[in-house]
């Protein structure tokens, strides 16, 4: 797994052929790179990408089979922390989903702000078929994204959904030809990488943390960020450009 940076876009590239199975080493590396992407000033938006053929087919079952209850009690927090690190990247994140995104792969895609899938992509939470439940955030992020009934259907049955159905239920946001997945995801990230970094962070945190709170707390989060942005150079740039040149022409540092 590696972080590739160009023109403000950081690509978190899964690279464990043939299926990008997310073993413990990959999970720990994912956390490290997510934290790095969040801290680096030259990274203003992030693409999650597994390659042309597969996003990630899930956890390493052979590795998990050797773990008993005690071992998983000790490991489960590290597993969740790795995925939460991706969800907490304070910048726009898009998942470019090709091929399979199953189990941990689907849970990783759920950590993104937007999901763009190829026409032949398949997503799902098949843990129930192993006598388990999702353990990297699937029961929580999936239900928040598609609603509890649809989430329970996928989690209870373990079935895989094709891209078209995933789009229909809100699991993915856009379906494109397989060969265009990375291009479209990178274009989305590149466009936002040119935007006002602090305002984008404020928007993301206001939505994400607001959804975890009651409406009054959410409004307080929004209010504090909104007022705070009036102290930023980006706000000055955006308003000056609007007055002098019209909307949508501001160039942010």
In tens, the pLDDT along 4-53 reads: 999 999 999 999 999 999 999 999 999 999 999 999 999 999 999 999 99
Q: What is the pLDDT of residue 59?
A: 86
Q: Which residues are catalytic?
A: 59, 104, 107, 127
Helix, strand, coil fractions of the chain, as percent rounded to 5: 55, 15, 30
> Taking 90 as the threshold, does the pLDDT of residue 253 lie above it?
no
Pairing of the two strands 160-162 and 122-124: antiparallel
DSSP state of 55: S
| Distance, CA of 60 to CA of 242 (rounded, Å) | 52
pLDDT digits (tens, 9 = 90+) for 105-121: 999 999 999 999 999 99
Structure tokens at 57: 């087919």
Q: Give CA–CA dist 29/1, Å, rounded.
A: 7
| pLDDT tens figures, 51-95 | 999 999 988 999 999 999 999 999 999 999 999 999 999 999 999
Residue pair 197/140 in contact by the 8 Å Cβ criterion: no
Q: Tell me, what's the pLDDT at 233?
A: 94
Maximum alpha-carbon separation in the chain: 65
Q: Please name the helix (run of DSSP H) or strand (run of DSSP E) that holds residue 4, with its range, or none.
A: strand 2-6
Q: 54's torsion region: left (phi>0), alpha (psi -120 to 50) or beta?
A: beta
Q: Are 47 and 108 in contact (CB under 8 A)?
A: no
The residues, any chain, with a CB within 8 Å of residue 196's CB and separated by 6 or more, are 232, 234, 235, 237, 238, 250, 252
pLDDT tops 90 at residue 138: yes
Find the helix or strand (DSSP H, E) in which 39 lies: helix 24-39
Edge-first strand order for the sheet with 160-162 is: 100-102, 122-124, 160-162
Please state, in angstroms and as integers, the Cα–Cα distance from residue 9 to each residue in 46, 62, 221, 227, following that order.
Answer: 6, 34, 27, 28
User: For residues 219 and 80, what is the distance between their CA atoms, to the nearest angstrom?
Assistant: 28
Find, among 105, 142, 108, the residue nearest to 31 by Cα.
108
pTM of this structure: 0.95
């Amino acid at each position: 797994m590696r972080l590739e940076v160009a023109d403000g876009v950081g690509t978190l590239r899964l690279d464990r052929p043939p299926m990008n199975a997310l073993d413990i080493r990959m999970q720990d590396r994912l956390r490290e790179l997510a934290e790095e992407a969040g801290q680096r000033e030259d990274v203003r938006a992030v693409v999650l990408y597994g390659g042309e053929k597969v996003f990630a087919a899930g956890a390493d079952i052979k590795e998990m089979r050797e773990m008993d209850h005690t071992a998983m009690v000790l490991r489960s927090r590290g597993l969740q922390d790795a995925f939460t690190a991706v969800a907490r990247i304070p910048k726009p994140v898009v998942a470019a989903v090709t091929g399979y995104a199953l189990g941990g792969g689907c849970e990783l895609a759920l950590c993104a702000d937007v999901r763009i899938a190829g026409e032949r992509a398949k997503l799902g939470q098949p843990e129930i078929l192993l006598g388990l439940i999702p353990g990297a955030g699937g029961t929580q992020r999936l239900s928040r994204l598609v609603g509890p009934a649809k989430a329970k259907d996928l989690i209870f049955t373990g079935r895989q959904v094709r891209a078209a159905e995933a789009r229909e239920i809100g699991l993915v946001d856009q379906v494109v030809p397989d060969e265009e997945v990375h291009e479209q995801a990178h274009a989305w990230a590149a466009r936002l990488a040119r935007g006002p970094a602090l305002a984008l962070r404020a928007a993301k945190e206001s939505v994400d943390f607001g959804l975890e709170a009651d409406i009054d707390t959410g409004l307080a989060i929004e209010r504090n960020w909104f007022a705070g942005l009036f102290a930023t150079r980006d706000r000055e740039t955006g308003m000056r450009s609007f007055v002098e040149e019209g909307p949508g022409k501001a160039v942010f540092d």
